[in-house]
Homo-oligomer: A and B are copies of this chain.
Amino acid sequence: MNDIDEIDRRLVVALQRDAGQSLEVLGETVGLSRNACWRRIRALEQANIITGRIVTVDAARLGFGLQVFMQVRTNAHAPDWLEKFSNATRAMPEIQGVYRMSGDLDYLIRARVADMAGYDALYQRLIRKVPLSDVSASFVMEEIKETAQLPL
């Protein structure tokens, strides 16, 4: 498949740290001219290896001080349950991650809310949309580490 060489790897590392730096300084760090960098980055984007460019924000200072993980179980084995669950969670903006886990019919949800009242509202909305046999919530007391960087 689309394999990546050492220079591309270093570019991705640099851009995962800071996507705001100029092609000039990127070129210096990877040892290439500025438009060689530019073409490689464009190629990485077109190959969907680089998928986007976003800002990171301080969630707490924007009113989302509480992070919660919800472990979800269902007893509904209907074939369309997963689709309904997927659509429902995708449509709920507080939910940042939804994962189908190993261990049959076990789902994990990661969400950000303002506070406990916000969590309860989220919970109520979710169970009204999808039948869930069991939901248990664990709240994040302290974020010890949080990064999107991959160890390339």
Q: What residues make up the interface of A, taking CB atoms closer than 8 Å to B? A: 1-2, 4, 12, 15-20, 47-59, 61-62, 64, 67, 69, 85-86, 89-90, 93-103, 106-108, 112, 138-152
Contact = CB atoms under 8 A, between A and B. Distances in A.
A51 B85 CA distance: 33
A90 B145 CA distance: 6
Contacts of A97: 143, 145-147
A121 B62 CA distance: 38
Nearest to A61: B49
A142 B93 contact: no
B98 A144 contact: yes
Task: List the 10 shortest-distance A-B pairs measured between CB atoms, nearest first.
Answer: A93-B151, A98-B144, A98-B145, A100-B142, A20-B53, A102-B139, A52-B56, A15-B55, A99-B140, A19-B53
B61 A57 contact: no
Contact of A96 (B2, B15, B50, B147): B147
